[in-house]
Amino acid sequence: MREIEVKVRAQNLNEVIARLQARGVDVSDSVTQHDQVFGLPGESGNDENTAPWLRIRTETRGSTVRTIFTLKRSVTNQLDSIEHETEVSDADELAHIISQLGFVPYSDITKTRRTAHVNDMELCVDSVKGLGDFVEIEKLTDEDADYSAVVTELWQALESLGFAPGDEVTDGYDVLVNAQHSTE
């Protein structure tokens, strides 16, 4: 499966949620996601990187905790990836396995997320610890999907919510966090 997304910086998440709800779109309750991302030694995470990335996501919704293991490999840029994922029972043991495969920690991020579905797209309203607020809209496609056509569709949905191309963020949260840490 291929996931194509567009991400924008948001000034007011409550306004975004209110706009969605005014259109009759259901917005989920908050979930906390702790993402540990692993890469091969020396990989930068930039747009030219097509090496695999592994993520362990621990998701907490109320008293329910689940762990999801994801493999991502960029196609055209960081926000266009082949993606495979499955639920796992032991995040710590999985981290040991990933280490034995030669992957090293790349980033560690915690965010609060609410989701909504608009047609066949998922919209994520995120507050990322240390980075701020964002909205992501993504679509799962076949691996040979027309990237430009999908991005155009995603932007139409974002523009209807008041976002403009100047709001776009082209890096993933993991790259943004690492860039922030290298400038501090």
Cα-based torsion angle of the residue sequence 12, 15, 20, 21 in order, rounded to the nearest 10 degrees:
140
Q: What is the mean pLDDT of residues 171-181?
A: 86
Quick one: pLDDT band at residue 20, thresholds 50, 70, 90?
Answer: very high
Q: Which long-range contacts (CB under 8 A, 24 or more apart) does 140-144 make?
A: 140/1, 140/2, 140/3, 141/1, 141/2, 141/3, 141/4, 142/1, 142/2, 143/1, 143/2, 143/82
Predicted TM-score of the model (pTM): 0.90
* CA end-to-end span of the chain: 37
Q: How far is CA 94 from CA 55, 68, 97, 101, 107, in A?
A: 10, 10, 5, 11, 16
Quick one: pLDDT band at residue 180, thresholds 50, 70, 90?
Answer: confident
Which stretch of 28-32, 49-53, 67-71 has the lowest confidence by average pLDDT?
49-53
pLDDT of residue 184: 55
CATH code of the domain covering residue 71: 2.40.320.10
Structural domain harbouring 125:
2-39+46-183
- The number of distinct structural domains making up the chain is 1
Model pLDDT for residues 136-153, shown as the tens digit of each residue: 999 999 999 999 999 999
Average per-residue pLDDT for the chain = 93
